[in-house]
Structure formats: C-alpha cells, structure tokens
Amino acid sequence: MLTQAVESYLALRRAAGFALKSSGFQLKRFAAFSEARGLHYVSSDIAIEWAGLARSVSQRAQRLGIIIRFARSLRSEDPRHEVPPAIFGADRPPRPTPYILTGEQIRQLIEAASQLGHKTLRGATYSTLFSLLACTGLRRSEAIHLRYADITRDGLVIRNTKFRKSRLVPLHETASSGLERYLQRRRPYAPFDDHVFVSLRRKPLLPEDVDRAFREAVKRVGLPPGGGHARPTPHSLRHSFAVRALENCPDGRDAITKHMLALSTYLGHARVADTYWYLEAVPELMRDIAERAEQFAMGVQL
C-alpha cells in the first residue's frame, strides 16, 4: 500500500513539473523498508530509523525532509499517516548570498568576453550570450538550449525549462538587434546545427564551456569577491536582472503584488517565494523595505 502511495505521489508531483529523481528513489527505498516491517502507513519511528541510516547529519536531515513532505501529502487524506518531526534539522541548506553585478560591471564583463578567442567566433558568442542573460534573466541552461525556432517576433520561447514548463520572454528591440547581428556570423559557421549558441567545435555549448568563459572574463575585469564569500558566476547575471527589476517595482500594495507575480512568471520560478527571496538576500532591497516600513509606522503616505 505504501509503495502504491509513493507511485501516486510521484506521479502527481511530476505532473506539476517536478523531476524528483533522487527523492523518488529515496521514497521507494523508504516504502520498501517500511513494508518489510509490516507497516503500510508512514510511521514517525520507522521514518526516523530509516533516515538515521544515512552517514552524515545533513543526509539524515535530507532523507527525513523527503518523508515529511510525503507524509504531509498523505495525511491530508488519511490521518493514519504520521508526520515525523524534523529531529535532524533543516533538510535544505540556506541559499548562498547572491553576487549582484552593477551595470558597469556587466558592461565590463561583456566587453571582456568579446575579446576571448582572437579572430574567432568565441568572443561574439560569449559577449552575446552574457548580454542576453543580463537583459532577460534567463538561466544558463535555458540560453544554451535555444534554437532558431525559439526566436519569434514576440520574443524568445523558452521550452521545457527547469520545471518542464514553457514560457515566452519578450525582448527589447536592442536585444533582438544584437542577437540578429550575432546570428549573421554564427549561421554560416555551423550551418547544420540550429542551436543559437555554438562552441568552436561547431557544437552546442556545454555548461562547463560557459562557466570557463565567464571565469576568464571575470579574471580580465578583476571583479572582487562579494559579501559572504560570494563569487560571480553566470547565474549572477540572472540575480542582477531580478534585483534591478525589483528596484523598479512601483509603489502600492496591489501594484507590488502584480509586479512580483509578473516577475516570477518571467523568470520561470515555480513558486513566487523564490522571487521574494531576493528581498531578503540583497541588502539594498532590505534597506528599502526598512525605510518604507519606518515611513508607514510614522504615518507617511506611501
């Protein structure tokens, strides 16, 4: 019965866009562990015992966290399932402090990227790629998977992304023009591949290719480390886009709510909470919130 419940739970979550590869494997192991003991419902004692078999505390916390979420889902329909306490602590480590790039730093990075690979397509590829990440907030994986057919008059079609959902990302006319200039050079370079960005191997870019080029550009610019030992990565361009978008958020509760939902959709976040995270992760935004809260407390009309 518990094995069947696991299959139903995984099918439901995966239909919502979650891959749950590792979690699914662990849940099936837990179900087999429980049923071998004659238990067909989630038991707190058995869940803790099974999670405790992991080597490290963090692995135990992760295992138990998977069971807790599973048990909560089952208990909503059947109270015989127990939700175990998180005795091993939080199963997810805190998100690292994002590295936020200034507009000038982004300009310098793009300029440095354009100088990579003397007299080859490499410089144009990475300067265009980094520009696109900076002005759209795309994930690195989304950008390197772009194909010609994904470039439309209305913007970029981002297909089957992190959560297996597709979305449309509008492009400013300057971004469209820059992308088209790159494609004029790129198309004859690898005419039998329709990926937008290609390497010198005339094949689609790999994540490690992008990371290597970004590190080279960072070294050329000489960017300093960020707060909390944060270091710039290609994802920093996405973080910076999100922060700039939040800084331009209009006043008013209704306007802020609509802005956050629109930004969450634009970025392809599965939960709007992932967008709100930037508010607490970036000191500048936290300072703005504190100032607004102080004004509200003093009766200042916002």
Query: Out of 162, 165, 195, 259, which one is annotated catalytic?
Result: 162
Q: Which amino acid is at 35?
A: E
Across-strand partners of 147?
195
Q: Note if 139 is an active site residue.
A: yes
Contacts of residue 300, Cβ cutoff 8 Å, sequence gap at least 6: none
Active-site annotation holder among 60, 186, 238, 239:
238
Which of these is catalytic: 159, 235, 244, 259?
Answer: 235
Task: Tell me how far apart the alpha carbons of residues 285 and 246 are, in angstroms, rounded to a whole number.
Answer: 8
21 catalytic, yes or no?
no
What are phi and psi for residue 192, nearest 5 degrees?
-100, 10
E-state strands within 167-239: 167-169
Smallest CA-to-CA distance from 147 within 155, 138, 156, 139 is with 156
Picking from 9, 60, 5, the residue whose alpha carbon sits closest to that of residue 35 is: 5
Q: Which of 63, 81, 122, 139 does the annotation list as catalytic?
A: 139
Active site residue 259: no
278 annotated active-site: yes
Residue in 75, 220, 269, 276 annotated catalytic = 269
Which strand ranges, in their side-by-side order, compose the sheet holding 155-158?
A: 151-152, 155-158, 167-169
Task: Show the 3-state SS of 62-130.
Answer: HHHHHHHHHHHHHHCCCCCCCCCCCCCCCCCCCCCCCCCCCHHHHHHHHHHHHCCCCCCCHHHHHHHHH
- Under DSSP, is residue 4 helix (H, G, I), strand (E, B) or coil? helix
Terminal Cα-to-Cα distance of the chain (whole angstroms) = 56
List, by residue number, the catalytic residues. Answer: 139, 162, 235, 238, 269, 278
